[in-house]
């Protein structure tokens, strides 16, 4: 039996191309025989033509070039550049002359409103003194930053066009895209004019606390801030990073999902950081052993190991030992998938969660609330005579832990700033270091930290956590 089918439907999962193709070309009849000799060659150019041009024409005008510059002051002299004199005088500023040096960088952005709001990456415009935006039609504007969100690596710029309408992108939903869907990445790699690359959605995951879409569409230096578009021309992500050992594209790129873009856009005009929901749980993947013990057919979901007191999960009635199976009807396979879905929901609303408890299914209404300072931060600049003099510390509250990408369950006191001209900076302490002990005394809050630091007079042994490592340093008076 001979079967009619559209050749392009074998190549694309989207119906728009097949529909357009079918309107213009009579499908070729092909035998279902295993022999390739029975197949006929294309009889027209339209039968071999596959083009993303219609989508590019719609989306490319909304993608812009971003050029930034900042003035960096360096103090140097020809004399002090000589290692011989440095050996004797060090970096004596009296012998050096301040000089201004201009640092320039480039990136991309996407216009998301007719009023001139542009979304880009935080690292593209960070610490910039001047930002210029060049549109696809060569119009150029100076832009100002109206919102920064380092946590999600997003920034919102504003331009004020004097004349002419601005093209802007429709913001879609990254959640609606599935693994394997075709996507286009549009940006300005290496400062070149607009470049379009295609690929698929490779994964959705969390990487170092950031929620990202992974794609194999080629992304290079300068693409940061550009758009990731679906086959309907909707913005589903902002290209932000690549995994590469050489600096070039290896087919592993990451984009901030459009749901994050919407959250940051909603906070424009507010002095507060964007409000993103949090879970208030510590969980792990369900292993086959856990699944068997709980009578679960498949090892999927998130096993709740710990609940933050009075956190969202605790308020919702979850218990240690519960297995979170679904959120709003979507299957949860691991902790990163759970974090991704919750983080892309709007704070102040509720979501439906399906859990397994003692072999029975339960449905729970889960409040989506932003992390708060349930523990007062008590931000303090440390004084006195000890190794941490000059550092700024605070109690680790849920809100602060989220801001610094730390584990809220660690608790304790964290260094929020270690200025360069202070002793803690010279000793190697960094922002985000969590102070655990002083001379074998556990530190629970800022008051205990200051008391232990000031009580020691001859030697301080400081234990602290950085990332997943526990480090220790010993300092004598």
Q: Which domains does the chain have, with CATH numbers?
A: 7-50 (no CATH), 57-268 (2.40.10.120), 281-367 (2.30.42.10), 380-476 (2.30.42.10)
Q: What is the CA radius of gyration of the chain?
A: 27
Half-sphere CA count of 156, side-chain side, radius 13 A: 21
- How far is the first Cα of the chain from the last one, in angstroms, to the nearest whole number? 91
pLDDT of residue 14: 35
In angstroms, how far is CA 146 from the centroid of its own chain?
19
Reported confidence tier of residue 38, pLDDT bands at 50, 70, 90: low
Are the CB atoms for 169 and 111 separated by under 8 Å? Answer: yes
Higher pLDDT, 28 or 122: 122
Q: Which two tokens stand for residue 477?
A: 């008076």
Q: Which two tokens stand for residue 45?
A: 């150019």
Q: In whole angstroms, give the CA distance from residue 457 to residue 412.
A: 23
Residue 358 has pLDDT above 50, yes or no: yes
pLDDT of residue 349: 86
Global pTM?
A: 0.70
Arithmetic mean of pLDDT over the chain: 81
Tens of pLDDT, residues 267-308: 888 777 777 888 899 998 888 888 888 888 888 889 999 999
Reported confidence tier of residue 230, pLDDT bands at 50, 70, 90: very high
Higher pLDDT, 11 or 149: 149
Catalytic residue positions, numbered: 123, 153, 224
Q: In whole angstroms, give the CA distance from residue 252 to residue 207.
A: 13
How does DSSP classify residue 129? S
Residue 401 has pLDDT above 60, yes or no: yes
Residue 176 has pLDDT above 90, yes or no: no
- Residue 187's nearest CA partner among 150, 237, 151 is 237
How does DSSP classify residue 171? B
Half-sphere CA count of 278, side-chain side, radius 13 A: 28
Scanning 120-178, the segments in alpha helix (DSSP H) are 122-125
How does DSSP classify residue 365? E
Q: Is 341 left (phi over 0), alpha (psi -120 to 50) or beta?
A: alpha
> How many residues can be counted in the chain?
477
- Is residue 16 classed as helix, strand or coil in its secondary structure? helix
Q: In whole angstroms, give the CA distance from residue 145 to residue 160.
A: 12
Residue 450 has pLDDT above 90, yes or no: yes
């Amino acid at each position: 039996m001979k079967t009619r089918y559209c050749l392009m439907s074998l190549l694309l999962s989207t119906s728009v191309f097949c529909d357009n193709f079918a309107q213009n070309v009579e499908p070729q009849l092909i035998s279902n025989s295993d022999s390739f000799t029975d197949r006929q060659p294309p009889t027209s150019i339209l039968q071999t033509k596959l083009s993303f041009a219609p989508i590019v024409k719609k989306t490319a005008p909304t993608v812009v070039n971003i050029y930034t510059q900042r003035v960096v002051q360096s103090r140097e002299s020809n004399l002090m550049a000589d290692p011989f004199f440095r050996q004797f005088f060090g970096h004596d500023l009296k012998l050096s002359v301040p000089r201004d040096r201009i640092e320039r960088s480039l990136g991309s952005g996407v216009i998301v409103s007719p009023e001139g709001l542009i979304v880009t990456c935080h690292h593209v415009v960070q610490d910039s003194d001047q930002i210029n935006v060049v549109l696809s039609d060569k119009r150029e504007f100076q832009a100002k930053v109206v919102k920064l969100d380092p946590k999600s690596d997003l920034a919102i710029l504003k331009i004020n066009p004097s004349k002419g309408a601005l093209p802007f992108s429709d913001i879609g939903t990254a959640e609606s895209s599935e693994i394997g869907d075709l996507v286009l990445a549009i940006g300005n790699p290496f400062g070149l004019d607009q470049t379009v690359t295609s690929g698929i959605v490779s994964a959705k995951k969390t990487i170092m606390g950031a929620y990202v879409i992974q794609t194999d569409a080629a992304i290079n230096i300068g693409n940061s801030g550009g758009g990731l578009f679906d086959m309907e021309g909707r913005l589903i992500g902002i290209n932000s990073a690549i995994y590469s050992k050489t600096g070039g594209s290896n087919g592993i790129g990451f984009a901030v999902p459009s749901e994050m873009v919407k959250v940051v856009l909603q906070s424009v005009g507010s002095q507060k950081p964007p409000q993103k929901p949090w879970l208030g749980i510590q969980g792990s993947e369900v292993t086959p052993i856990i699944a068997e013990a709980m009578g679960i057919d498949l090892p999927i979901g998130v096993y709740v190991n710990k609940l933050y007191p009075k956190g969202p999960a605790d308020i919702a009635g979850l218990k240690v030992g519960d297995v979170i199976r679904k959120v709003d009807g979507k299957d949860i396979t691991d902790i990163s998938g759970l974090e991704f879905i919750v983080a892309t929901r709007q704070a102040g609303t509720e979501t439906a969660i399906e859990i397994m408890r003692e072999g029975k299914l339960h449905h729970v209404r889960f409040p989506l609330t932003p992390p708060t300072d349930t523990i007062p931060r008590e931000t303090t600049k440390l004084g006195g005579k000890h190794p941490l003099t000059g550092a700024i510390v605070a109690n680790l509250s849920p809100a602060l832990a989220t801001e610094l990408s730390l584990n809220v369950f660690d608790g304790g006191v964290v260094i929020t700033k270690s200025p360069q001209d202070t002793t803690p900076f010279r000793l190697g302490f960094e922002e985000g270091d969590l102070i655990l002990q002083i001379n074998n005394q556990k530190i629970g809050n800022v008051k205990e930290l200051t008391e232990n630091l000031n009580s020691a007079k001859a030697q301080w042994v400081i234990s602290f956590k950085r990332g997943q490592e526990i480090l220790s340093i010993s300092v004598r008076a």
